[in-house]
Amino acid sequence: MMSYWVLFIGIAVVSWLVQMNLQNKFKKYSKIPTGNGMTGRDVALKMLHDNGIYDVQVTHTPGRLTDHYNPTNKTVNLSEGVYESNSIMAAAVAAHECGHAVQHARMYAPLKMRSALVPVVNFASSIMTWVLLGGILLIESFPQLLLAGIILFAMTTLFSFITLPVEI
């Protein structure tokens, strides 16, 4: 039982370190302007047009690090810190999100698989914690509930691995 806690805490610490590293890089490169003065919006439009994509709209979305490509309505949604900023980080984030639009236009198989799994993973993620907790509490009388929670967790983990080729 102790080894599970060590593993859990180890994974939590590594996750936290990765998150802190990402935030520090975001802060650092948000202060360095692009050489040509292009904003995140400008970079996104140029990348889309350079790839022959004219049916994707670049929009502004509230929040921080809320940038994403939505294949259902063909929009690249850039956060406040990216849309109007002319920083290197804004250009990189905009280009990354447009990369998903390019993948979509070229019918990249891992993106198609990921998009098909999103509803299932969203459902699994929303109930996973409660199923795992119930399984732990009812381990003596209903051990199958814990197994169901582990399967839900495995599904969300598998989704993360499927996402890797899409994000890289």
Catalytic residue set: 97
Residue 3 pairs in a beta bridge with none
Answer yes or no: are the C-beta atoms of 32 and 85 closer than 8 Å. no
What is the pairing mode between strands 75-79 and 57-61? Answer: parallel
Task: Write a three-state SS string for the chain.
Answer: CHHHHHHHHHHHHHHHHHHHHHHHHHHHHHCCECCCCCCHHHHHHHHHHHCCCCCCEEEEECCCCCCEEECCCCEEEEEHHHHCCCEHHHHHHHHHHHHHHHHHHCCCHHHHHHHHHHHHHHHHHHHHHHHHHHHHHCCCCCHHHHHHHHHHHHHHHHHHHHHHHHHC
